[in-house]
């Protein structure tokens, strides 16, 4: 039985409530991120209201790509921003920022990574087959209206500057907001 909302349409008859879905991306692996964004965009396109949550290394796909040799990664000043408490920063956060693979184009594969060659091979195969790259899937999900949220604790611990470090707009919220999101969800999955 379909739940009905009290929002009438033009004929003053109740319309079915829009289903909601939540995807939690914990992994920083390219293959898992591709699957998460394909599901989010597909479900959103079919009428489900989707939101994606990013924690730990799952956030890497939303970060602007920066080379491991980029001086800004290693020597840049840790900036404040949404969810940041700069008074408790430590020099170890520079190490985490420097070694972290940022950007959708720099994510490793969970299997067959081959020292970093695996993702390049997979990206080439996907391009040859006319499949969307992860960067395109992220922008497609954004354009379809998928809501992005980054965990506040991860933003602070990994010294992300929101919105400066992200390629899309995202909210910064805590675990209680995630709980409320999943409590009302018809679909909930973690990658």
Q: What is the pLDDT of residues 91-139, one digit of tens each?
A: 888 788 877 878 898 888 998 888 889 999 999 999 999 999 999 999 9
Domain boundaries, the chain: 19-190
Element holding 72 (H helix, E strand) = helix 71-75
- Determine the Cα–Cα distance for residues 94 and 98; give it in Å rounded to an integer: 6
- Determine the Cα–Cα distance for residues 138 and 95; give it in Å rounded to an integer: 27
Predicted pLDDT of residue 30: 95
Helix and strand numbers, DSSP H then E, in the chain: 7, 7
- What CATH class is the domain 19-190? alpha beta
Q: Are 125 and 31 in contact (CB under 8 A)?
A: no
Q: Are 34 and 40 in contact (CB under 8 A)?
A: no
- Determine the Cα–Cα distance for residues 60 and 145; give it in Å rounded to an integer: 20
pTM, two decimals, is: 0.84
pLDDT of the chain, 191 residues: tens digit per residue:
444 444 455 556 665 678 999 999 999 999 999 999 999 999 999 999 999 999 989 999 999 988 777 777 776 667 777 778 888 888 888 788 877 878 898 888 998 888 889 999 999 999 999 999 999 999 999 999 999 999 999 888 888 888 888 999 999 999 999 999 999 999 999 99
């Amino acid at each position: 039985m379909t739940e009905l909302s009290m929002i009438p349409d033009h004929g003053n008859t109740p319309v079915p409530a829009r289903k909601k879905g939540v995807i939690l991306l914990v992994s920083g692996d390219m293959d898992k991120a591709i699957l998460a964004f394909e599901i989010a965009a597909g479900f959103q396109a079919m009428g489900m209201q989707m939101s994606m949550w990013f924690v730990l290394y799952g956030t890497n796909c939303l970060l602007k790509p920066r080379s491991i040799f980029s001086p800004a990664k290693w020597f840049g000043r840790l900036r404040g921003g949404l969810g940041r408490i700069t008074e408790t920063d430590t020099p170890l956060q520079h190490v985490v920022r420097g070694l972290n693979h940022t950007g959708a184009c720099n994510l490793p594969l969970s299997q067959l990574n081959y020292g970093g060659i695996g993702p390049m091979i997979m990206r080439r195969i996907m391009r040859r087959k006319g499949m969307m790259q992860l960067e395109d899937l992220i922008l497609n999900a954004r354009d379809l209206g998928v809501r992005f949220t980054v965990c506040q604790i991860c933003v602070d611990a990994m010294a992300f500057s929101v919105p400066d470090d992200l390629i899309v707009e995202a909210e910064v919220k805590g675990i209680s907001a995630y709980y409320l999101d999943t409590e009302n969800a018809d679909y909930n999955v973690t990658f």
